[in-house]
Structures are given as structure tokens and as C-alpha cells.
Structure 1
Amino acid sequence: MKFDRSLIPGILIQRYKRFLADVTTAGGVTVTASCPNTGSMLGLTTPGSKVWLSDSDSPTRKYRHTWEMIETDLGGGPHLVGINTGRPNALVTEAIGDGTIVELAGYSTLRRELKYGLNSRIDVLLAGGRDPRDCYVEVKNVHLMRESGLAEFPDSKTERGAKHLRELIAMVEGGHRAVMVFLVQRSDAERFKLADDIDPAYAAAFQAAAAAGVEMLCYKCELSPTEIAVEKRIEIADL
């Protein structure tokens, strides 16, 4: 996924009220950017960090800038981390279409954000493949890393995430295929695990879903100020 415009570099002053961040751009101008991330962003809000913003000239936006990436270093050199949780669905859709996510290839139709289950929306619904079952795909953004190379999810308690796993179980029980895709928006990830110390209830829901037949996939991305692309599958330590 290429950005319409190259991202704007800056230095993070602070993230506050969850959805806002003050950033000083390379030109020395301080701007308030929207922060499209409801999680704790553990380890990704350190003042003074280098960040990148996208820019929109839409007249309906209150804040024209959006925080997209931050640079971090856990000892192996600097790496970019994508913090915009609005990106993964489009990234996974693109990766399904170009065959990068081989486990989800071969379907003739792809639809997004369809209502299903108990007042939920599925991120991607695939149908019309060699497998006669519809395939329900839920996508989660991953950016937490506390140990070099080891990506984790979630970064805060998420009852909503556990609910989505229960919905996927119901789809399997109804005779459909259900797949949970963890998309790691950081290039330094080598493997993935659940942050069961942060949310043991989500970890338990994950194990129940896997036992019920929900397929678990984790893919990592490569990032630059001009593009984010799904690169390859990585190991899930909890399976």
C-alpha cells in the first residue's frame, strides 16, 4: 500500500487524550495530529521519538495530520512501527488480492465490513473458492514489542477482541471457515506471541478459538515513509 504522499517526519512531543499527539515537524512547526489508535501504545509514546505523519487537505477534517509511524530501537538498530489501526484491513485485503497471504488465496469474491454474528462486523468475507465454505477473516493490528524480535498482542485489555474470537468460533460451528489474522506493523518482528500477562482473558479466548478450529495466522509488514507492504508469515509461539 503506497501512501498518496510521502509521510512528513517529525519529533513526538506527547500523546494525550488517547486520540491526539503533538509533533514538531522537520520544518520546526508544531502540529496537533490525530492518533488513530485506541490501545495503550505501550513503548511507542516516548517524547523525543522520531515519527511520521500523513497529511490531508480535506476541508472536513479537524486535524489535517495523522500519526502513522514511529521509530523505535530495542537494541538491534532503528525500525519503523505502524501505529495506525485503520491500515491493517486494507493491507490484508491487498495481500489477499496479490497472493501474499497464500492461505487465503483462491476465492472469487471479497467483501469488507459486513454485519455478522451478534452485532459485529467481519473485516473480510471471502466466498466462491474451491472450498465451498464462506471464509470469515478477522484482522488485528500488532505493534507491541517488549523483547527484541518478539511481537505481542494485545497491548491492553480487550473484551472486544475476545468477543470477536467467540464470533469466529460460532462461524466454525455453523459450518464456515474462520481465520484470525494478526498483522504486525513492524519490520523487526521475527515471531509472535500473546501478551497473556496483559490480558489473560484474551489469551484464554485465543486458545479456545484455536481448539474450536479457528485458523490463526500472523504476517509481518515492511514499512517505509512511502509504503507499507505485507511481507511474510511468522511463527505464532502459542500454537
Structure 2
Amino acid sequence: MEERVGSANDEHPDYLYPPPPPPDSADDTYIIQIPRDQIYRVPPPENAVIAQGYRKPVEQKSKGCRGRCKCICLCLIVTVALIVGIFLAKIYLFPSPKSPQFSIKKVLVKTPSSSSKNYSSPSYEISLKAENTNDKYKISYENGGGSKLSFKQHKIAEGKPPSFSQNENESNDVRVTLAGSKGTLPSEVAKSLNDTKAKTPVSLSLMINAPVKMKGLISTKDKDVTVTCDFKVNTLATGTKILSQECNSKL
């Protein structure tokens, strides 16, 4: 068996190239064979048109997605703006009502005559200043509720709160009349009532609970207001003066 010895030109074997024609051949046609890895193909123009047709739907889809994203973002912005606007309008037009403020101006003790069987149970007239501190609400104090005067949590008189109305930021002077409770008065209260010379001070507590209507721009709220005033007077006899007081109210 013969072995073929390679040469330096084995990279391009001779059998790939046809032998050149004889010198005296009349045929001027030559065949040149190029290795396959050196052939470069250029696609025809119609292929570029087809490829462009495939790319257009992708581009249109991308544009459609961007349009939807813009619409979604715009809807979110409008929704958030509406929510914030409604919230601010509610705060401005329908704020939470504030409790009215009260303070005691005067205390008058009416002691029955000595011939009366209820000599130990005087009545009281307490004048107060009521202030509506609301800018957006009128207050209407309705009939009902109750008021009581106490000494160290011992009730000594009771009555009904007055009914009246207040506009926004309006102040009024009101009066609460309390009838003396039946029974024996606490010794400190009795001493202050009878001691006209020494003027024995005494500390009392007034509590008022009244139904109210808070009338806003287009709404009305039914609530109960509770007022508590702890105060001290120089005497319950003639010439009663208020020495100190602290009033709190709550809706």
C-alpha cells in the first residue's frame, strides 16, 4: 500500500484546481474555484424589505406600551390629586368641631327665710360666660340634660342647663339655676352659709351636661357637651366672690 507524502502545498490540494489548458488551446475560458470559507454572500434587497416588515410590529407594540404607561401614570396622578383635594376640602369645609369654652362670672346664693322648712337647702344662681370657639360651626344648646353643684362629690343642688344658640366665634352670658337638694348640708357648706363675719372659703364643683347641635356649612352634628368647673368662693353668705376656678369642656 502506498503512502502519499504531503508537501507544503497540502493546504490547498492540487486536485481542487483543474489543470491549466494547453498553451495552444483556443478556449479562453478559465474556471477558478475559491475555498468556501472565503465566499461572502450579500442578501438581495427584497430580504431587507421582509426584515423591515418583521421589525415594524415590534416598534408599534413598543409605542403602544409607552402610550399605555403614560395613560396609567396620568390616571394615577389625577386620582391622587382628587384624593388630596377631597381631603383638604373636608378639613377646610368640615373640620372637627371644637368644644365650647366656659368660665364662671358670678355666684349668687339664695337662702330661704328662717321660717321656711328648707332653710338648710339654699338655691344657687351661677352666671357663666359661654364662648363658641368654632369658625365653621354654630352651636345650638337644646332642651334636656342636667346640671349639679357638688361639694367633695356630695351633691348639694341640681337643675337644668339653659337652651340658647351661638354663632361662630360668639360669646354669651348664660345663667344656670340650681335648686338645693333635700337633706343635711355638709358642715363646711353650712358654716360658710352662716358665717357672715369670718367669710369661710369653700370649694365647689359645677357639672353641666347638655345636648347640642353643631351646624356647619351643609351639615349638622348632634353631640353632648360636658362642662366641669371646679371653683372656690370666699363665702356662701353675703358678698360671694370667686377666688379661683378651672373649667373644662368636652364634646
Bin the TM-score by the shorter chain. under 0.3
TM-score (norm 1): 0.26
Q: Which has the larger radius of gyration?
A: 2
Bigger fraction of residues in strand: 1
Bigger fraction of residues in helix: 2
TM-score (norm 2): 0.25
